[in-house]
Chains A and B, each alone.
Chain A
C-alpha cells in the first residue's frame, strides 16, 4: 500500500460545480497535512493546511478524518482557473519528512 494515495483523475467538472476529492494515508502517527496545487510544468504551491477541526479558505474546504486516515478537499463554485493537479502531503513522524501523493488532476470545463 502506498503511504499516500490519491485518485489520479482526471476529474472533469463543469464550471460552477462543486467537486471533492480524498487522499488516504497509511501512517497513523502523521501529524501535519497539506494540500498543494500544481499547474502543468510548474512548481507546487501551498493551497492550505488541514486542521483537525476542518478549515475553510474562501471556496476551499479541507477536512481531516484521523479515524479513517484520510483528508479531503472540497471546491465550491469551481472556476476555470481551478484546473490543476492537487497534491496531498502528509508528514511522517520525523520533523522534516513529507510524503507526497501523486496528485489528482482537475479539469474545469466552461
Chain B
C-alpha cells in the first residue's frame, strides 16, 4: 500500500533562517506531488505541484521554492524565512493517471517563524 512520510512534525525557526521540509512517497510510481499551506481558519492553499522529476509549478509568488530530485521525493525550501511563512504545511500525492484528483496527505509540519 502507498504511504507518504513528511517531517518534521513541528518546527520553530527564527526569521531569516533557512528552511527545508522533506516528503517521500512509498508504494507508487510517478505520482503527482503537492505542497500546500494551511493558515488558521483558511482553506488549503496550493504552493507547488510536480508531475515529474525536476518539474515544478508554482501557484503563488512567495518566499519559498520546491524541488523534486527523485520520483518520490518532494522538498520545500526557503533561503530566508519570513514571519508570514508560519503555518501548517502539508505534502500530498495523487495518481498521475486517470481523472481522479483524490489527494493523500502527509501528517503535516507546523512551522512557527519567530
Contact = CB atoms under 8 A, between A and B. Distances in A.
B105 A101 contact: no
B44 A100 contact: yes
Nearest to B94: A96
Contact of A102 (B42, B59, B88, B103): B42
A8 B41 CA distance: 8
Interface string A70-86: 00000000000000000
B35 interface: no
Given A41-B88, A43-B107, A96 B101 contact: yes
Interface residues of A, number: 23
Interface in A85-108: 87, 91, 95-103
Contacts of A8: 41
Contacts of A31: 99
A42 B108 contact: yes
A24 B24 CA distance: 34
Nearest to A91: B101
| Of A43, A45, A98, most B-chain CB atoms within 10 Å | A43
